[in-house]
Amino acid sequence: GWQVSMKSGSLSYILPCNRLPVQLMSQVRVYTSNGQKKDLGSEDTSGSVHGETLHKVETGQDTTNAGQKQSSPKQPIQVKVKAVLKKREYGPKYTQNNFITGVRAINEFCLKSSDLDQLRKIKRRSPHDDTETFTVYLRSDVEAKSLEVWGSPEALARERKRRKEAEIKYRENLFRNQRLLWEYKEFFGNTKPRSSTAAMFFKGPGKVVMVAICINGLNFFFKLLAWVYTGSASMFSEAIHSLADTCNQALLALGISQSARTPDPSHPYGFTNMRYIASLISGVGIFMMGAGLSWYHGIIGLLHPHPVESLLWAYCILAGSLVSEGATLLVAINEIRRSARAKGLSFYQYVVQSRDPSTNVVLLEDAAAVLSVAVAATCMGLTSLTGNPYYDSVGSLGVGTLLGTVSAFLIYTNTEALLGRSIEPEQLQRLTELLESDPVVRAIHDVKATDMGMSKVRFKAEVDFDGRVVTRSYLEKQDIEQLLQEIQQVKTLEELEAFMLKHGENIIDTLGAEVDRLEKDLKQRNPDVRHVDLEIL
């Protein structure tokens, strides 16, 4: 009943029964006519064997050679069968085991809260820091309940469409009501207490910006009067400079107010970068409005010079502007020193890294204003002494060049901040060492830490977790004796599958809890880290 086949110096035995097919490879021994024996194993023999050959296969049965009966010992055939579970086919879309929250069940499946009371409630680990667990529902149960309530998928789709139209109409009415409320407040006055956004302009960068707006507005008014009276090109440049500063700082105030808005679904990380956007626009405005007009007026003065009138009032206004701009500059310097000291940085590092873009703009604009007042006064003095109007035009060009330099620096620093630059290597090293020192972490890869602006850091890394430590952490919370009894009660493959699925899901939950713990530790030890994304490798 055995079927024997010869292939390349080896034999294949096929069991003639209805059991699992088992293939055994036996060694082939080749005997030549001179009595020599060769073991070929499983290698191919090229060509034919010279002379008379006799192939003898040891199969555990008695064979005869040259009329003589020779017996060989029987070798038992060992068959090892591997038992495996049948693979489940889930298909391209499988949502039977998905969990959804009560809010999603009500909104997406058009149910009421009373309908959810009849469904199975499952406690799961919460993704939010303020709660430990929250209630979820099986998606399959929610879908079945929605069909029970609405009768058919078509009816459910019609109800969803109706609710969507009602939501759009509600938003339109809400916008209309907000506009009417704004008009009502404009007419009767707003008696609402001062909000937190308004309070931002009474301390920190907001206070610096408001002081700068008031002083630069007054400077623009008086410099404009001096230019009308004297006709000086340098005084015209100074007036344009003060106007540009006033407009840019008003834009900074708008950026500060917008950055305080709370995050929404469209902007989940908030509006912090509005300060950098306002500072970037401010830098462009200084270049176009301040530097451009100053250069233009200086070139016109060189091409078409005209005598300058009495400069006494111009000197007086420049002196007052120097005092006021210097006062604003001191306010900005003190604010930056205080903030730099709190962050553990030097004054230069704080300014170059653009940690506070609004205060940086005020600092640089006022510093440029003080220097430009000195340049304008010097050139006007030379014009007054020599009677040559070209000095005044050269002063206008100098003020324009100074403003262009400041605007270029602001554009560069704010662009770097908006592009999402990395944090300092020392800070990144501290975050990396904190993760690697945890016993549950084997290694971390692809580490990225981005400064999102205003000292808010987003940290991302792929973490190779130690499965043994995670499993031990799970076992430490279990009753080992009870777990051992469960193992001893496993007799069939179905019982083994149920046991592994139960504890496997719990181990995955333990891994998620470890991820939450690591994220919490990173945020507590590094307050600048606001968003942590740890991906399991």
- pLDDT, tens digit, 9 for 90 and up, residues 236-245: 877 887 887 7
Lowest mean pLDDT segment, chosen from 47-61, 67-81, 208-222, 352-366: 47-61
From 101-105, 116-120, 169-173, the region with the lowest mean pLDDT = 169-173
425-536 homologous superfamily: Cation efflux protein, cytoplasmic domain (3.30.70.1350)
- Alpha-carbon distance of 189 to 348, in angstroms, equals 46
Is the distance from CB of 238 to CB of 322 less than 8 angstroms? Answer: no
379, with CB counted inside 10 A (0-12, 13-18, 19+), is buried
Residue 73: pLDDT over 70:
no
Helices 357-386 and 204-230 sit at what angle, rounded to 10 degrees?
20
Q: What is the mean pLDDT of residues 493-507?
A: 90
Bridge-based pairing state of the strands 133-138 and 441-453? unpaired
Determine the Cα–Cα distance for residues 277 and 267; give it in Å rounded to an integer: 15
CA distance 141 to 364: 63
111 within 8 A of 105, measured Cβ to Cβ: yes
Q: Which sign, positive or negative, has the C-alpha torsion 200, 202, 205, 210? A: positive
> Mean pLDDT over all residues of the chain?
77
- Among 19-23, 339-343, 379-383, 458-462, the minimum mean pLDDT is found in 19-23
Q: Where in the chain are the domains?
A: 92-188, 197-419, 425-536
Question: HEC string of 295-358?
Answer: HHHHHHHHHCCCCCCCCHHHHHHHHHHHHHHHHHHHHHHHHHHHHHHHHCCCHHHHHHCCCCHH
CB 208 within 8 A of CB 359: yes
SS3 421: coil
Q: Where are the alpha helices (DSSP H) in 387-424?
A: 390-419
- DSSP 8-state class, residue 195: P
* Residues 430, 443: Cα–Cα separation, whole Å: 15
Look at phi and psi of residue 60 and say left if phi exceeds 0, alpha if psi is from -120 to 50, else beta.
Answer: left
Q: Work out whether the CA dihedral 510, 514, 517, 523 comes out positive or negative.
A: negative
In this predicted structure, the answer to whether residue 78 has a pLDDT above a threshold of 80 is no
User: Which of 148-152, 178-182, 299-303, 369-373 is the least confident region?
Assistant: 178-182
Q: What φ, ψ does residue 123 adopt, rounded to 5°?
A: -90, 125
**Cα(181)–Cα(175) distance, integer angstroms:** 10
pLDDT of 526 over the 90 cut: no
CB atoms within 10 A of CB 506: 13
| Token pair 């998606």 in the structure block, residue | 139
Say how far apart CA 204 and CA 479 lie, in whole Å: 56
* pLDDT value for 83: 59
- Asked if 212 and 251 touch (Cβ cutoff 8 Å), the reply is no
Strand-strand pairing, 3-7 and 10-14? antiparallel
Phi, psi of 319 (to 5 degrees): -65, -45
- E strand intervals along 87-176: 99-101, 122-125, 133-138
- Under the banding of pLDDT at 50, 70 and 90, the label for residue 74 is low
* Cβ neighbours around 172 below 10 Å, total: 10
| pLDDT beyond 60 at 24 | no
Q: Copy the structure tokens of residue 337.
A: 């020193």
Q: Which CATH architecture has domain 92-188?
A: Alpha-Beta Complex (3.90)
- Residue 159, pLDDT above cutoff 50: yes
The DSSP annotation for 433-469 comes to: HHHHTSTTEEEEEEEEEEEEETTEEEEEEEEEE-HHH
DSSP category for residue 202: G
| CA–CA dist 179, 464 (Å, integer) | 54
Place of tokens 């604010």: 335
* Among candidate residues 405, 373, 368, 376, the one with its CA nearest the CA of residue 393: 376
* pLDDT at position 251: 86
Select from 43, 16, 6, 12 the least CA-distant residue to 25. Answer: 12
The residues, ordered by sequence, that sit 6+ positions from 164 with a Cβ below 8 Å of its Cβ are none
User: Residue 267: pLDDT above 90?
Assistant: no
Better pLDDT: 164 or 354: 164
Query: Residue 380: in which H helix or E strand, if any?
Result: helix 357-386
Tell me, which fold does domain 197-419 have in CATH?
A: Alpha-lytic protease prodomain-like (1.20.1510)
